[in-house]
Amino acid sequence: MDLIIKNGTIVTASETYKADIAVEDGKISMIAENIDPQNAKVVDASGKMVLPGAIDAHTHLAMPFGGTISADGYESGTRAAACGGVTTVFDFVLQAKGEGLIDAVKRRNALCEPEACVDYAFHTAITDLNDDILKEMDESVKYGVPSFKVFMVYDFGVTDGTFYQVLQRSKEIGALIGVHAENREIIDTLVAKHLSEGKTSAWYHYASRPEFVEAEADSRAIRWAKELHAPLYIVHLANSGGVEEVTKARDEGYPIFAETCPQYLHFTKDVYKREDGRNFVCSPPIKGQESQDALWAAIKRGDITTVATDHCPFQSYEKDWGKDDFTKIPNGCMGIENLYPYMLSEANKGRISFNKVVELCSTNVAKVFGCAPQKGMIAPGSDADLVVYDPEKDFTISQKNMHSDIDHTIWEGVEVKGYPVMTFSRGELVYKDGEFVGSKGYGKFVKCNPIHLDGPNL
């Protein structure tokens, strides 16, 4: 035994109980009352909760986008992750034109491996499909990257035909397709209209991508997945119409899964009227109160499976490119360090249970993307990715107490009740009391298993 976390209250997706956790060679070796420490290092977690580390299912670290590169690289992004209790990140690889899928993963892994402070896995965004790529999807599954994404928007967005083909293929090979669902043509039309009328503020980012623009695309994507009986994962669901479509499909027994993000659960479209509105520009944009309410209701019902960040931050000077033209604002917000503290705080305030937060931010992510039981669980044999959480510690989020490379945060001034005080990654302490204590290059690639989701329940 190398480490014992003693006297804590263990919180998993399904249980809350007092016990000690023993760790050996980076894995949980035993969970029991009163484990004799022998020569192991002892961490006293009296009065604290011990949770599985969060798994951020959606990050864009060092991603070329919006005329620049997202401002958190693999080191700073995963450092911030560790300090927010995130012990695994799923980052997006964007296939270049003509590039093979495995080559794309290797290209990104070469950047990530020397830098990552916590473990990581990848999803690959398919941007250039042909018969060879359809075949190579199977090799990617075997390589440990069984999840793919298609964008219905942006210049690297795919056609309906491409989307349909990858959905069909995914079913045959144990893969899962994620989709960024918005209607590109309506967005382009509304953007052109607003600009021609001289409407250029951040508000018009929202006004060009309002609720129905996302809902329509959700509904179309779900329609095809149903037709093919293929599983589908809707990333960053942010609107109430989409929630209705997801709920309906799940009630009918289809394997449709949805992820939402903390920014959609906490803020409303009113942020785009603020002086710093451009800092909140992300796609899909943050919607109205009705959508926020629908997202929380879906979480409570179980119709939202995961909460992840879409962490894709840009510096203030880059956001300022869009001061006089919202289309020049690089899209994306920060959240990797805020995901678990924010969601746990909502539990601490009584909105949902702590178990539900663990389910949404850790266990379900591991189950959906094929890395359970290695990740996302507190169980013998699982990686000792653990967070010690102090429910009594009040914390006000500020750029000054975050650990990424970004010069601002959309979460500035938000007060959370309770905060992580320690994060362990495979048994190694990587965060303690406000300080990052891990090291660059420690994080390892997590090889995910094939994904076979044949109904709405995991």
Among 331, 363, 374, 425, binds ligand DUC (CB under 6 A): 331
Residue 427 interacts with, from ligand DUC, Zn ion, none (CB under 5-8 Å by kind): none
Q: Which is nearer to ligand DUC, 247 or 331 (CB)?
A: 331
Residue 282 interacts with, from ligand DUC, Zn ion, none (CB under 5-8 Å by kind): ligand DUC
Contact 232, 167 (CB under 8 A): yes
| Interactions with ligand DUC, residue window 199-258 (CB under 6 A) | none
3-class secondary-structure state, position 99: coil
Q: Which is nearer to ligand DUC, 12 or 201 (CB)?
A: 201
Residue 325, C-beta contacts closer than 8 angstroms, at least 6 positions apart: 195, 200
Q: Which is nearer to ligand DUC, 73 or 332 (CB)?
A: 332
Tokens of 354: 């702590």
Among 255, 332, 370, 438, binds ligand DUC (CB under 6 A): 332
What is the C-alpha to C-alpha distance for residues 354 and 343, in angstroms, rounded to an integer? 9
3-class secondary-structure state, position 81: helix
Residue 170: which of 145, 187, 152 has the closest Cα?
145
Specify the stretch interacting with Zn ion by CB under 5 A; choose among 13-21, 181-189, 303-311, 429-437. 303-311
Specify the stretch interacting with Zn ion by CB under 5 A; choose among 1-9, 138-146, 302-310, 392-400. 302-310
Write the DSSP assignment of 352-409 as a string of letters.
Answer: S-HHHHHIIIIIHHHHHTT-TTTSS--STTSB--EEEEEEEEEEE--GGG--SS-S--
CB-CB neighbours of 400 under 10 Å: 8
Smallest gap from residue 330 Cβ to Zn ion (A)? 13
Residue 230 interacts with, from ligand DUC, Zn ion, none (CB under 5-8 Å by kind): none
Residue type, 369: F
Tokens of 68: 């620049």
Should residue 310 be labelled a site residue for Zn ion when binding is judged by CB under 5 A? yes
What is the C-alpha to C-alpha distance for residues 58 and 283, in angstroms, rounded to an integer? 13
Number of residues that bind ligand DUC (CB under 6 A): 9
What is the C-alpha to C-alpha distance for residues 148 and 162, in angstroms, rounded to an integer? 12
Among 78, 283, 404, 423, binds ligand DUC (CB under 6 A): 283
Smallest gap from residue 63 Cβ to ligand DUC (A)? 7
Smallest gap from residue 151 Cβ to ligand DUC (A)? 7
3-class secondary-structure state, position 150: strand
Should residue 312 be labelled a site residue for ligand DUC when binding is judged by CB under 6 A? yes
**Phi, psi angle pair for 387, to nearest 5°:** -120, 130
What is the C-alpha to C-alpha distance for residues 235 and 19, in angstroms, rounded to an integer? 36
Unique residue bearing structure tokens 């000792």: 384
Looking at the chain, how many residues does it have?
A: 458
- Residue 428 β-bridge partners: 425
What is the C-alpha to C-alpha distance for residues 306 and 360, in angstroms, rounded to an integer? 4
3-class secondary-structure state, position 318: helix
Q: How far apart are the first and last CA of the chain?
A: 33
Among 169, 180, 194, 375, binds ligand DUC (CB under 6 A): 180
Q: Which is nearer to Zn ion, 180 or 209 (CB)?
A: 180
Smallest gap from residue 58 Cβ to Zn ion (A)? 5
Tokens of 162: 């491409």
**Phi, psi angle pair for 428, to nearest 5°:** -95, 135
Should residue 282 be labelled a site residue for ligand DUC when binding is judged by CB under 6 A? yes
Smallest gap from residue 415 Cβ to ligand DUC (A)? 25
Should residue 278 be labelled a site residue for ligand DUC when binding is judged by CB under 6 A? no
Q: Rg (Cα) of the chain, in Å, rounded? A: 21
Contact 53, 344 (CB under 8 A): no
Among 60, 194, 269, 278, binds ligand DUC (CB under 6 A): 60
Site string for ligand DUC, 5-44 (x = CB under 6 A): ----------------------------------------
Q: Which is nearer to ligand DUC, 318 or 383 (CB)?
A: 318
Q: Which is nearer to ligand DUC, 128 or 390 (CB)?
A: 128
Should residue 311 be labelled a site residue for ligand DUC when binding is judged by CB under 6 A? no
Smallest gap from residue 282 Cβ to ligand DUC (A)? 3
Smallest gap from residue 359 Cβ to ligand DUC (A)? 25
| Interactions with Zn ion, residue window 169-208 (CB under 5 A) | 180
Smallest gap from residue 310 Cβ to ligand DUC (A)? 6
Smallest gap from residue 153 Cβ to ligand DUC (A)? 7
Q: Which is nearer to ligand DUC, 216 or 310 (CB)?
A: 310
Where along the sequence are the contacts to ligand DUC (CB under 6 A)? 60, 65, 180, 282-283, 310, 312, 331-332
Interface with Zn ion by CB under 5 A: which residues? 180, 310
